[in-house]
């Protein structure tokens, strides 16, 4: 496979992921999601989510039923797997596609980007992809921050290491080494 076709393939994969983050492009949640972004679709008031992990597509009655190969663990790890795939495409494009690397460098993440109603940007396809991925990645990080105590009981050591690994990689690329907490602190400082 040539370098140009690898770049085109990676851009297509990321564009497909971004398309799924829109109401019109959102796919139906599969019965057994695997490497699927369950948080891709915009949240609608009254949307049914699990009372334990707050992911759509299933219900769990307690944390005890959520772990091991339970539905909450599967939902969390499906989303982690999705972001692992995205991370691999971002890393490949960052190394081999200058316009994508420039879009990453130009990207400025804010705490408000985690909200479905935050402003979207225009620009090159690379800039739009990076912006949309950043917005949805922050939504994922915000969601995980809200379930972190339960996640500690649901995920095993290897699961948590995968989550931490993808978080570190994507924080480096999409947030320029910052974290969701850093963005929150900056947003508070800007209000004062």
**Dihedral angle sign, alpha carbons of residues 178, 105, 88, 58:** positive
Which carries the bigger pLDDT value, residue 127 or residue 33?
127
> Band of the pLDDT at 192, cuts 50, 70, 90?
low
Confidence at residue 45, expressed as pLDDT on a 0 to 100 scale: 57
Confidence at residue 1, expressed as pLDDT on a 0 to 100 scale: 44
**pTM for the whole structure:** 0.91
Say which residue the tokens 């972190």 belong to: 148
In Å, how far are 64, 66, 96, 160, 179 from 155, measured between CA atoms? 11, 9, 35, 6, 21
Residue 73 CB contacts under 8 Å (≥ 6 apart), including other chains = 66, 67, 154, 155, 159
Q: Are 104 and 123 in contact (CB under 8 A)?
A: no
Weakest mean pLDDT among 38-42, 138-142, 184-188: 38-42
Residue ranges of domains in the chain:
3-191
Strands (DSSP E) contained in the chain are: none
pLDDT tens for each residue of 45-98: 556 889 999 998 888 888 887 877 889 999 999 999 999 999 999 999 999 999
Q: What is the mean pLDDT of residues 152-173?
A: 96
Q: Are 154 and 67 in contact (CB under 8 A)?
A: yes
Give CA–CA dist 140/17, Å, rounded: 14
């Amino acid at each position: 496979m040539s370098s140009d076709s690898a770049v085109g393939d990676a851009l297509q994969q990321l564009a497909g992921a971004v398309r799924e983050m829109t109401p019109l492009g959102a796919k139906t949640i599969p019965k057994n999601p695997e490497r699927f972004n369950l948080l891709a679709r915009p949240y609608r008031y009254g949307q049914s989510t699990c009372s334990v992990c707050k992911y759509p597509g299933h219900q769990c009655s307690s944390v005890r039923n959520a772990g091991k190969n339970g539905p909450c663990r599967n939902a969390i790890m499906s989303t982690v797997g999705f972001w692992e795939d995205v991370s691999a495409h971002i890393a490949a494009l960052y190394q081999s596609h200058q316009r994508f690397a420039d879009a990453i460098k130009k990207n400025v993440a804010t705490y408000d980007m985690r909200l479905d109603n935050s402003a979207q940007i225009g620009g090159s396809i690379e800039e739009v992809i990076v912006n949309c991925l950043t917005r949805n990645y922050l939504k994922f990080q915000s969601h995980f921050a809200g379930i972190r105590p339960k996640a500690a009981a649901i995920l095993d050591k290897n699961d948590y290491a995968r989550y931490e690994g993808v978080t570190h990689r994507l924080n480096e690329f999409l947030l320029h080494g910052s974290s969701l907490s850093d963005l929150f602190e900056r947003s508070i400082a800007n209000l004062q």
